[in-house]
């Protein structure tokens, strides 16, 4: 009986430890506002990947799709874990208007709020860094091939 109780207590402690340590990795570990220093770190990581190739579903470190790129940048720069897809990142972000968007916010594109298929990182002055069919590039947000859905702060 004593051995069973000891095994039970050890099991509970182990499960609790796994659960608590896993929470930071399974949930979005993010901030609502990115500081200038945080943005500078993320921007450095993003710029370092300029010219990397695009492959649908790729998550880095040298080949990306759009949401794989944003996830990689924030994980590497700030240890912030984002959801895997552009739609999930949109769903988990706090919407902001274009005039209230800050450097480091995410920029979302699609046919509607329920069909977001592209994401980039806002870098200011109407530009973003994103991974798309030309690879990782800096480009204008208002381009004829994108339908802007909105901006989001990491939430």
CATH (domain of 66): 3.90.1720.10
Residues 45 and 59 occupy one common structural domain: yes
Query: Which pLDDT belongs to residue 154?
Result: 87
Tokens of 60: 């880095």
Q: Is the pLDDT of residue 2 over 60?
A: no
Q: Given 38, 65, 66, 105, which residue is catalytic?
A: 66
- Is 65 an active-site residue? no
Mind listing the pLDDT tens digit for each residue in 97-110?
Answer: 999 999 999 999 99
Range from 23-27, 33-37, 56-60 carrying the lowest mean pLDDT:
23-27
Between strands 148-154 and 93-96, the pairing is: antiparallel
118 is catalytic: yes
Domain shared by 50 and 117, yes or no = yes
| Total domain count, the chain | 2
Torsion of CA 109, 101, 135, 146, to 10 degrees: 30
70 and 105 together in one domain = yes
Q: Judge if 20 and 96 occupy the same domain.
A: no
- Which ranges of the chain does DSSP label H, i.e. alpha helix? 2-26, 36-48, 66-78, 86-91
152, 94, 92: which is closest to 128 by C-alpha? 152
Range of the domain at 3: 1-29
Mean pLDDT of 75-87: 96
User: Given 3-state DSSP classes, what are the helix, strand and coil percentages for the chain, each rounded to the nearest 5?
Assistant: 40, 30, 30
- Tell me if residue 66 is catalytic: yes
- Residue 20 shares a structural domain with residue 81: no
**Residues 24 and 97 grouped into a single domain:** no
**91 in the same domain as 19:** no
Q: What are the tens digits of pLDDT across the range 33-51?
A: 678 888 999 999 999 999 9
Give yes or no: residues 41 and 54 share one domain: yes
Distance CA 119, CA 68 (A): 10
**Catalytic residue of the set 38, 65, 105, 118:** 118
What would the two tokens of residue 111 be?
């046919």
**pLDDT score recorded for residue 35:** 83
| pTM for this predicted structure | 0.78
- More reliable by pLDDT, 28 or 97: 97
Same domain for 20 and 38?
no
pLDDT at 31: 43
Same domain, 82 and 40: yes
Question: Going by DSSP bridges, is the β-strand pair 53-54/148-154 parallel, antiparallel, or unpaired?
Answer: unpaired
């Amino acid at each position: 009986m004593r051995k069973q109780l000891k095994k039970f207590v050890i099991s509970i402690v182990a499960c609790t430890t796994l659960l608590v340590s896993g929470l930071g990795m399974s949930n979005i570990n993010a901030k609502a506002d990115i500081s200038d220093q945080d943005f500078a770190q993320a921007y450095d990581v993003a710029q370092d990947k300029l010219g990397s190739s695009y492959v649908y579903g790729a998550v880095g470190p040298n080949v990306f799709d759009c949401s794989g790129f944003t996830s990689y940048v924030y994980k590497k720069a700030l240890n912030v874990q984002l959801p895997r897809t552009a739609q999930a990142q949109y769903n988990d972000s706090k919407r902001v208007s274009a005039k209230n968007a800050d450097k480091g916010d995410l920029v979302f594109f699609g046919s509607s709020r329920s069909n977001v298929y592209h994401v980039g990182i806002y870098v200011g002055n109407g530009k973003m860094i994103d991974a798309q069919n030309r690879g990782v590039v800096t480009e204008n947000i208002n381009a004829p091939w994108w339908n802007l859905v909105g901006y989001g702060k990491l939430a």
